Homo-oligomer: A and B are copies of this chain.
Amino acid sequence: MSVTVITVRLTSVAVITTLVAMARWEPGTRERLARAALELFTTRGFEQTTAAEIAEAVGVTERTFFRHFADKREVLFDGQERYRQAFLDGAAAAPPGATPFEVVASALRSAGAFFGEERRAFARARQAVIDANPALQERERHKRATVAAAMRGALLDRGIADPAAAVAAETTSTVFSIAFQQWISPGETRPLTQIADAVLAEVRSFAGAAS
């Protein structure tokens, strides 16, 4: 029986609190808001869903929603830091003296691995919502740009100067974006890393084809 309790503790922070003390509010509000939002956006559409409805679905007020998310769109982009970090970790993993291309390839491998098979279905659902709304596409591009900015910083830190750093950083972001789109397209079964490899090869052939 004590084994069961331990299992619960490991899998649900909310349950711990409920057992330990009568909390006035449940923890994990942010994550629950994000989940409820995706579901409501999927069924009713982004614009047809109000922030108040999302909050209500979770049992908090609209004001609480906006305390967690700066705006309504942001709720779909929670947890992007971890994914940006995957790029940076990959870049850092490249050996000293690696060429910009090698750093980019390493970053793409790391980011590609971050999105394993278990994330593909979720990614598809999320992307369907984004694809249906221009305002969300804008936000997505903004997030993509922060990845490029982070990569540029990492490359500059490695001693690679602009404009080479900027080109390499933007290429990372572009290749990943094209590969990701393919990864979640219907019928696609290859892992993201493999697709990203193919797209990066395409960049090389693009640049070399006119010589």
- A residues with a Cβ closer than 8 A to B are 99-102, 105, 134, 137-139, 141-142, 145, 163-164, 166-168, 170-171, 174-175, 177-178, 182, 198-199, 202-210
Contact = CB atoms under 8 A, between A and B. Distances in A.
Given A170-B178, A171-B203, 12 more contacts: A99-B209, A101-B207, A137-B142, A138-B138, A141-B141, A163-B198, A164-B205, A167-B202, A168-B206, A203-B207, A204-B207, A208-B208
A108 B161 CA distance: 23
A163 B207 contact: no
Nearest to A71: B135
B141 A199 contact: no
Oligomer: number of copies:
2
Given A163-B178, A164-B205, A101 B141 contact: no
Given A167-B178, A170-B178, A101 B206 contact: yes
A167 B99 contact: no
Contact of A101 (B99, B100, B134, B210): B210
